[in-house]
Amino acid sequence: MSEIVHVIAVEPRAGHRLHLRFEDGVEGELDFTGEPWQGVFAPLADAAYFARVELDAELGTIVWPNGADIAPETLHHWVSEGVKGAAA
């Protein structure tokens, strides 16, 4: 199981991109362009809604107004391993 490293900052970028910074100093951009959004994530297909992402400091991750979130350890893995078009 991956160590949980919390997100401490999120900045939406053009389209379906996010810049994330983690408490261990890791940071980078994730590109979710073309993601097949389904279920609770379906509203994120709209770039304007996707850009409404916020940091939930209590959970240490990112959330959207409808309650959709992504586990911080997953986001950290994607950024640090270059998954999802990640660019450091």
User: DSSP secondary structure string, 21-33?
Assistant: EETTS-EEEEE-T
Burial class (CB in 10 A: 0-12, 13-18, 19+), 7: buried
Structural domain includes residue 75? yes
Confidence check: pLDDT of 86 > 80: no
Domain count within the chain: 1
pLDDT at residue 20, as a whole number: 97
Q: How much is the average pLDDT of 51-69?
A: 97
Q: What is the CATH number of the domain that holds 19?
A: 3.30.2020.10
Identify whether 87 is part of a domain: no
pLDDT band with cut points at 50, 70 and 90 for residue 63: very high
Q: Which residues pair with 19 in a beta bridge?
A: 11, 29
pLDDT single digits (tens) 6-52: 999 999 999 999 999 999 999 999 999 999 999 999 999 999 999 99
Supply the range of the domain harboring residue 67.
Answer: 7-81
Res 88 pLDDT > 70: no
**AA letter at 57:** A
Distance CA 50, CA 44 (A): 5
pLDDT at 82: 82
Please report the DSSP string for 24-85 in residue order: TS-EEEEE-TT----GGGGGGGSHHHHTT-EEETTTTEEE-TTS-EE-HHHHHHHHHHT-TT
pLDDT at residue 84 is higher than 80: no
